[in-house]
Amino acid sequence: MKIEGFGNLLPNAMEPGKVKQTGADKLSNTFSDLIKDVNQDQINSQNSIEKFVSGDGVQLHEVMIAGEKAKTSLELLMEIRNKTVDMFKELTRMPI
Protein backbone atom coordinates (compact mmCIF):
# COMPACT_ATOMS: atom_id res chain seq x y z
CA MET A 1 0.00 0.00 0.00
CA LYS A 2 1.42 3.35 -1.06
CA ILE A 3 1.23 6.17 1.49
CA GLU A 4 0.75 9.62 0.02
CA GLY A 5 2.21 12.77 1.55
CA PHE A 6 0.29 15.73 2.93
CA GLY A 7 1.52 18.12 0.22
CA ASN A 8 -1.78 18.16 -1.64
CA LEU A 9 -3.64 19.29 1.50
CA LEU A 10 -1.78 22.59 1.78
CA PRO A 11 -3.50 25.61 0.27
CA ASN A 12 -1.83 27.22 -2.73
CA ALA A 13 -0.97 30.33 -0.72
CA MET A 14 1.27 28.31 1.60
CA GLU A 15 3.30 26.78 -1.21
CA PRO A 16 6.36 28.80 -2.14
CA GLY A 17 6.40 30.25 -5.63
CA LYS A 18 2.66 29.76 -6.19
CA VAL A 19 0.47 32.70 -7.16
CA LYS A 20 -3.04 32.58 -5.79
CA GLN A 21 -5.59 32.23 -8.59
CA THR A 22 -8.95 33.91 -8.66
CA GLY A 23 -12.17 31.98 -9.25
CA ALA A 24 -12.27 33.17 -12.86
CA ASP A 25 -8.71 31.96 -13.45
CA LYS A 26 -9.52 28.54 -12.01
CA LEU A 27 -12.67 28.29 -14.15
CA SER A 28 -10.75 29.36 -17.23
CA ASN A 29 -8.02 26.80 -16.55
CA THR A 30 -10.63 24.09 -15.99
CA PHE A 31 -12.33 24.85 -19.29
CA SER A 32 -9.06 25.01 -21.21
CA ASP A 33 -7.97 21.68 -19.69
CA LEU A 34 -11.31 20.15 -20.63
CA ILE A 35 -10.99 21.39 -24.21
CA LYS A 36 -7.44 20.02 -24.42
CA ASP A 37 -8.65 16.63 -23.15
CA VAL A 38 -11.48 16.54 -25.70
CA ASN A 39 -9.06 17.47 -28.46
CA GLN A 40 -6.67 14.72 -27.36
CA ASP A 41 -9.52 12.20 -27.40
CA GLN A 42 -10.36 13.26 -30.97
CA ILE A 43 -6.71 12.89 -32.01
CA ASN A 44 -6.45 9.47 -30.34
CA SER A 45 -9.58 8.33 -32.16
CA GLN A 46 -8.23 9.51 -35.51
CA ASN A 47 -4.88 7.83 -34.86
CA SER A 48 -6.53 4.52 -33.97
CA ILE A 49 -8.61 4.66 -37.17
CA GLU A 50 -5.49 5.30 -39.24
CA LYS A 51 -3.61 2.45 -37.54
CA PHE A 52 -6.55 0.09 -38.07
CA VAL A 53 -6.81 0.94 -41.76
CA SER A 54 -3.07 0.58 -42.30
CA GLY A 55 -3.03 -2.80 -40.52
CA ASP A 56 -0.78 -1.88 -37.59
CA GLY A 57 -2.36 -4.44 -35.27
CA VAL A 58 -5.16 -2.31 -33.84
CA GLN A 59 -8.33 -4.29 -33.24
CA LEU A 60 -11.76 -3.07 -34.34
CA HIS A 61 -13.07 -2.92 -30.79
CA GLU A 62 -10.21 -0.57 -29.82
CA VAL A 63 -11.17 1.73 -32.69
CA MET A 64 -14.81 1.69 -31.62
CA ILE A 65 -13.94 2.41 -27.99
CA ALA A 66 -11.70 5.33 -28.95
CA GLY A 67 -14.41 6.72 -31.25
CA GLU A 68 -17.12 6.46 -28.60
CA LYS A 69 -14.86 8.04 -26.00
CA ALA A 70 -14.18 10.96 -28.35
CA LYS A 71 -17.89 11.29 -29.15
CA THR A 72 -18.94 11.19 -25.50
CA SER A 73 -16.33 13.71 -24.39
CA LEU A 74 -17.36 16.09 -27.17
CA GLU A 75 -21.04 15.75 -26.23
CA LEU A 76 -20.17 16.46 -22.60
CA LEU A 77 -18.21 19.55 -23.60
CA MET A 78 -21.13 20.81 -25.70
CA GLU A 79 -23.58 20.30 -22.80
CA ILE A 80 -21.26 22.15 -20.41
CA ARG A 81 -21.02 24.98 -22.93
CA ASN A 82 -24.81 25.12 -23.32
CA LYS A 83 -25.37 25.18 -19.56
CA THR A 84 -22.73 27.88 -19.14
CA VAL A 85 -24.38 30.05 -21.79
CA ASP A 86 -27.78 29.52 -20.15
CA MET A 87 -26.30 30.46 -16.76
CA PHE A 88 -24.79 33.63 -18.22
CA LYS A 89 -28.12 34.60 -19.79
CA GLU A 90 -29.90 34.10 -16.48
CA LEU A 91 -27.30 36.16 -14.63
CA THR A 92 -27.63 39.03 -17.08
CA ARG A 93 -31.42 39.06 -16.59
CA MET A 94 -31.16 39.39 -12.82
CA PRO A 95 -31.91 42.89 -11.45
CA ILE A 96 -29.05 44.64 -9.71
Domain locations along the chain: 38-96
Output the pTM of the full model: 0.69
pLDDT surpassing 70 at residue 19: no
pLDDT at 27: 82
Q: In this model, does residue 4 exceed pLDDT 60? A: no
Contacts of 77 (CB under 8 A, 6+ apart): 34, 35, 38
Q: What is the mean pLDDT of residues 32-55?
A: 95
Q: Which residue has the higher pLDDT, 26 or 66?
A: 66
Mean pLDDT confidence for 37-56: 96
Q: Residue 19: in which H helix or E strand, if any?
A: none
Averaged pLDDT for residues 17-45:
86
